[in-house]
């Protein structure tokens, strides 16, 4: 029973998930600090930093705190923008630089000029319409 549990815990995907959650939590703290300590004060340059927390309305004695929702929405948009522009875009550019694509591989198929079926590049007769095709050109080496 304990051996099965040990195998489950030490399986790669469980360990990877645990590491991902820990790193994600740490990264969340970094992003939140970046937004609250660097980006939000930039909003204060143009004027007072908006705080909508006190905005409410009441209907039949029920209080709707829509200001808190607006604060959360603005925070989400700033967080998403910060993650996109300062994490996603640089990572995508780095990935593209690291994984430069070479020239495309030589084709292995061609289209029959008569029936437009996909056939082997070495074919001299189409398997679909039985048309005779010119012999493939010899490759220069």
- C-alpha 62/C-alpha 140 separation (Å) is 83
What stretch(es) of the chain map to CATH 1.10.1200.120? Answer: 10-98
What sign does the CA torsion over 56, 58, 59, 61 have?
Answer: positive
Fold of 10-98: 1.10.1200
Q: What tens digit of pLDDT does each residue of 77-130 get?
A: 877 887 888 888 998 898 888 887 778 888 899 999 999 999 999 999 999 999
pLDDT given at position 138: 66
Q: Beta strands of 90-132 (E only): which ranges?
A: 109-111, 118-120
Name the residue with higher pLDDT: 8 or 43.
8
**Number of alpha carbons in the 13 Å side-chain half-sphere of residue 65:** 7
């Amino acid at each position: 029973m304990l051996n099965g549990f040990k195998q489950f815990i030490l399986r790669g995907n469980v360990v990877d998930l645990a590491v991902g959650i820990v790193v994600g939590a740490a990264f969340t703290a970094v992003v939140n600090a970046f937004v609250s300590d660097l980006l939000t004060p930039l909003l204060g340059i143009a004027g007072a930093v908006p705080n909508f927390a006190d905005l409410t309305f009441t209907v039949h004695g029920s209080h709707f705190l829509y200001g808190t929702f607006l604060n959360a929405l603005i925070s989400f948009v700033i967080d998403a923008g910060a993650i996109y522009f300062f994490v996603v875009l640089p990572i995508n550019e780095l990935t593209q630089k690291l994984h430069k694509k070479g020239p495309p591989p030589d084709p292995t198929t061609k289209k029959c000029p008569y029936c437009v079926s996909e056939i082997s590049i070495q074919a001299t007769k189409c398997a679909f319409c039985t048309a005779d095709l010119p012999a493939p050109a010899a490759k220069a080496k």
